[in-house]
């Protein structure tokens, strides 16, 4: 019998039933492991692994043909060195996180524009202060760097909330979702930054995106700019961003991703001015909707895999996404 | 010369220019007072007052015919006793606050659903915890109590963010904005509450709305319910709400309005569990958009007033809104 290992803690009974049934229909048997490890002595039994296993599980899976990651940003598992052979297929779960991360971006953007951390501090001190100036998403000019599922889910919501202009920035010039007022390429980023009031970064970590928001580009942002990053911390020159925030050269930032993670207890990011930090939670498995969609996408691709059809979310391990 | 007193601190040069020009065209002269008072000895000169004056200014304005309040909730200035005569017209600025308060509601709703106060506490302690369960606006059932400009601006945004159902609750059964899946009357509130996951209250304070969310009705809410109030604190049995929150009989609340305001330093609301308090800031003059619209609406009604046409935002002082 061909075998699948499902290595993840987030599955409920419905998820397990759906995976088991789909697998049976496709001629597979499934073992469920509640956690991130599978037993060493069983590793060679599995042709397919689904979930968020510890990276070192993979190497011992000598008969592995397909790793379906239950997460979207697979930069940490693209390298051939983690695999028993270079032909192992890797798919990600891009598409499961659009809703939850878009809601995170809307929330932190409004918190920064509406001075919510300041008001929360005022309330903690039991004071009654009402006069801090606020801003609005309505009428704002927004740049979305990374126009995939996450960026576009955010952009649609921002459009519905009355954003004046939404610019999408992507690798190629091909047409984007209708919610974008214009599409720019990475090469044209320098033109867009000076007119950007809200910069949302939702990029995978690839050789092209590492350091894309460089010190020079941070300097192109206007003083009212806020920066929201939900992709990977590596996309930003973090040192330069901290300096810009502490010197109030830009208005604020919300980072859900940073370098390194977890953030060491003595790291200066914890104390950076006008910075709203969250511990990489915008897109994790906390939302039932995300978990359901993740399982649905695996089952869909399992049918494709069994039938010899192309996998829908196949990662080019050389490019990194 | 007929005279107008503009008594408010929020006007900028453009606002003053617009008011002065409109007034001149209508045969009026304007005096601007930066603050909430006008000099006693000048009070009798004015036929019209615009802004947010101290209530005691009004009584001494023996020739006052129209008070255009630059705020929406006029419950504190409806009583005849504040006026030199019962014929003084009162208009409010309902319509200027839809955007800013809707953005506030979206923000606090997401903060509660996504456990943001807990994550902020985790970050203050420099810990790295990612596993709190979250919920989403997408797929939620929302009840909007008070379907005016504010409630409906929120409902439209929530619809765009994928809410499953949005019920509007209002005095009369007349058709609401298309963003509502169904309209209920105040009398039908008890039917709607048990299926409500997010209850948004945006009501003026009137005899009909005081205490509308009673202890009995709070008990009808399901355990996952969150309550957001941006209207008036008097609409809620605050004691019963605090009990429900502290006993975790409902999931959370966000109050921008409460009784009394400002909240005394020893008030138990400050320490109520799962409660996100803000010091009545959702709709104040912090947003440029609100200030501009407020001035535009006054100028529009000034033209109506001068031409003898009905005022657009006339308050029925007996009903209270």
**Interface residue A121 vs chain B (CB under 8 A):** no
Q: Which of B71, B136, B179, B277 to mutate to test the interface with A (most CBs of A within 10 A)?
A: B136
Alpha-carbon distances of A182 from A141, A142, A199, A308, B269, rounded to whole Å: 12, 11, 15, 39, 47
**Interface residue B103 vs chain A (CB under 8 A):** yes
Flag if A137 and B284 touch (Cβ within 8 Å).
no
Which chain B residues are within 8 Å of A114, Cβ to Cβ? 103-104, 107, 286
CA A191 to CA A203: how far, in whole Å? 19
**Interface residue A224 vs chain B (CB under 8 A):** no
**Interface residue B259 vs chain A (CB under 8 A):** no
CA A211 to CA A205: how far, in whole Å? 10
Sheet with B141-145: strands ordered across: B182-185, B165-170, B141-145, B198-201, B226-229, B252-255, B275-277
> Residue A141 gets which letter from DSSP?
E
- Summarize pLDDT for A135-181 with one digit per residue, the tens: 999 999 999 999 999 999 999 999 999 999 999 999 988 878 999 99
Alpha-carbon distances of A155 from A233, A293, B164, B205, B281, rounded to whole Å: 21, 21, 20, 36, 26
Q: Which residue of A has its CA nearest to B125?
A: A265
| Residues making up chain B, counted from first to last | 321
DSSP A6-63: EE-S---HHHHHHHHHHHHHTTEEEEEESSS---GGGGGG-SEEEE---HHHHHT-TT
Is B70:B50 a contact under the CB 8 Å cutoff? yes
CA A257 to CA A254: how far, in whole Å? 9
Residue B224: the pLDDT is: 98
Q: B33 forms bridges with which residues in the sheet?
A: B7
Token readout for B220 is 């009808």
- Summarize pLDDT for B175-233 with one digit per residue, the tens: 789 999 999 999 999 999 999 999 999 999 888 999 999 999 999 999 999 999 999 99
Flag if B114 and A103 touch (Cβ within 8 Å).
yes
Could you read off the pLDDT tens digit of each residue along chain B, which spans 321 residues?
899 999 998 999 999 999 999 999 999 999 999 988 999 999 999 999 999 999 999 999 999 999 999 998 899 999 999 999 999 999 999 889 999 999 999 999 999 999 999 999 999 999 999 989 999 999 999 999 999 999 999 999 999 999 999 999 999 888 789 999 999 999 999 999 999 999 999 999 888 999 999 999 999 999 999 999 999 999 999 999 999 999 999 999 999 999 999 999 999 999 999 999 999 999 877 788 889 999 999 999 999 999 999 999 999 988 877
Token readout for A85 is 């052979």
Which has more confidence, B73 or A193? A193
Tell whether the model's pLDDT for residue A21 goes beyond 80.
Answer: yes
Alpha-carbon distances of B206 from A28, B144, B234, B317, rounded to whole Å: 65, 17, 9, 10
- Summarize pLDDT for B217-240 with one digit per residue, the tens: 999 999 999 999 999 999 999 999
Partner residue opposite B279 with nearest CB, options A99, A119, A287: A119
ipTM confidence:
0.92
CA dihedral for B53, B59, B64, B65, sign (positive or negative): positive
Q: How far is A88 from chain B (nearest CA, A)?
A: 30
CA A19 to CA A29: how far, in whole Å? 10
Q: What is the pTM of this model?
A: 0.92
Flag if B120 and A123 touch (Cβ within 8 Å).
no
Q: How far is B145 from chain A (nearest CA, A)?
A: 21
Token readout for A120 is 């929360």
Other Cβ atoms less than 10 A from the Cβ of A69: the count is 23
**Interface residue A139 vs chain B (CB under 8 A):** yes
Tell whether the model's pLDDT for residue A280 goes beyond 80.
Answer: yes
Other Cβ atoms less than 10 A from the Cβ of B125: the count is 10
Q: B321: helix, coil or strand?
A: coil
Contacts of B41 (CB under 8 A, 6+ apart): none
Is B76:B52 a contact under the CB 8 Å cutoff? no
Which chain B residues are within 8 Å of A111, Cβ to Cβ? 107, 111, 116
Q: Which of A110, A198, A268 to mutate to test the interface with B (most CBs of B within 10 A)?
A: A110
Smallest CA-to-CA distance from A153 within A299, A289, A258, A252 is with A289
Q: How far is A273 from chain B (nearest CA, A)?
A: 13
CA B193 to CA A6: how far, in whole Å? 40
| Residues making up chain A, counted from first to last | 321
Alpha-carbon distances of B100 from A62, A183, A284, B51, B288, rounded to whole Å: 58, 29, 30, 19, 10
Longest dimension (CA), chain B: 68
How does B255-286 read in b/e, with b if 16+ C-beta sit within 10 Å?
bbbbeeeebeeebebeebebbbbbbbbbbbbb
Residue for token pair 């001149």? B24
Residue A232: the pLDDT is: 95
Residue B174: the pLDDT is: 81
CA B63 to CA A68: how far, in whole Å? 78
DSSP A248-315: TSSSEEEES--SSSSPPTT-GGGG-TTEEE--S-TTSTTSHHHHHHHHHHHHHHHHHHHTTPPPTTB-
Which chain B residues are within 8 Å of A161, Cβ to Cβ? 103, 106, 157, 160
Where residue A41 falls (left for φ over 0; alpha for ψ -120 to 50; beta otherwise) is: alpha
Sheet with A141-145: strands ordered across: A182-185, A165-170, A141-145, A198-201, A226-229, A252-255, A275-277
Is A89:A65 a contact under the CB 8 Å cutoff? yes
């Amino acid at each position: 019998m061909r075998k699948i290992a499902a290595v993840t803690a987030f599955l409920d009974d419905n998820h397990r039933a759906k995976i088991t049934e789909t697998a049976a229909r496709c001629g597979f048997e499934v073992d469920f492991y509640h956690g991130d490890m599978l037993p060493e002595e069983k590793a060679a039994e599995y042709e397919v692994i689904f979930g968020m296993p510890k990276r070192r599980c993979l190497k011992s899976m000598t008969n592995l043909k397909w790793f379906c990651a239950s997460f979207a940003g697979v930069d940490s598992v693209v390298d051939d060195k983690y695999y028993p052979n270079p032909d192992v297929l890797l798919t990600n779960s891009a598409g499961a996180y659009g809703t939850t991360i878009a809601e995170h971006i809307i929330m932190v953007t409004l918190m920064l524009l509406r001075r919510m951390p300041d008001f929360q501090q005022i309330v903690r001190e039991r004071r009654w202060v009402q006069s801090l100036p606020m801003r609005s998403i309505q009428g704002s000019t927004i740049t979305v760097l990374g126009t995939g599922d996450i960026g576009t889910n955010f952009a649609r919501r921002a459009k519905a909330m009355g954003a004046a202009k939404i610019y999408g920035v992507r690798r190629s010039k091909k047409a984007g979702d209708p919610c974008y007022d214009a599409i720019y390429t990475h090469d044209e980023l320098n033109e867009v930054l000076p007119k950007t009031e809200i910069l949302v970064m939702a990029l995978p970590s690839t050789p092209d995106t590492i350091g894309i928001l460089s010190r020079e580009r941070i300097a192109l942002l206007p003083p009212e700019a806020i920066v929201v990053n939900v992709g990977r911390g590596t996309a930003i020159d973090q040192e330069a961003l901290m300096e810009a925030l502490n010197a109030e050269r830009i208005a604020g930032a919300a980072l859900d991703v940073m370098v390194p993670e977890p953030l060491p207890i003595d790291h200066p990011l914890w104390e950076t001015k006008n910075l709203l930090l969250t511990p990489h939670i915008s897109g994790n498995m906390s939302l039932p909707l995300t978990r359901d969609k993740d399982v649905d996408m695996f089952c869909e691709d399992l049918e494709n895999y069994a039938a010899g059809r192309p996998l829908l979310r196949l990662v080019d391990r050389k490019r990194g996404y």
